[in-house]
Structure 1
């Protein structure tokens, strides 16, 4: 499975390690992903999503259905 958040679309990014002598070597910035089960009250089902921890906080704040609706409008939702 790819390291991509199913809701926000966050994925691995590439950057540089920069030493004190300003030498640059490539590195990866990996998103903090977790597999998490969420309850959907409208359907009465549980769904499992691979999401970033920042998205878990957003779901706690705004609710699951509102967050999924906004992600679908934005075009980042991949279920």
Structure 2
């Protein structure tokens, strides 16, 4: 199963972990320099959630990001899932 939020569509993104070394100029040093630029992956904060949808009278299992869960509680489960295309 893909690491993807079913409501917002968030998925892993690529970036870099940058290492810097040295003393900043304003503290009396010669400045900081990048010594390593390591590729890394940023994963969404996913949660498995089982929700009861009163309009349908059934339970739905979802894999949501934490931000998607906040969106769901703000807009309501049924409206959000219809907007995301999960329910029809």
User: Normalization by structure 2: what TM-score?
Assistant: 0.76
Of 12, 35, 38 in structure 1, the residue corresponding to residue 48 of structure 2 is 35
| 8 Å Cα contact 2:14-2:42 kept in structure 1 | yes
| 8 Å Cα contact 2:6-2:84 kept in structure 1 | no
Aligned residues: 73
Of 48, 55, 61 in structure 2, the residue corresponding to residue 48 of structure 1 is 61
User: Normalization by structure 1: what TM-score?
Assistant: 0.84
Alpha-carbon distance in 1 for matches of 2:83, 2:55: 17
Based on CA coordinates, which of the two structures has the bigger radius of gyration? 2
> Which consecutive aligned stretches of 4+ in structure 1 deviate over 4 angstroms post-superposition?
none
CA RMSD across the alignment: 1.2
Unaligned segments of structure 2, at least 5 residues:
21-32
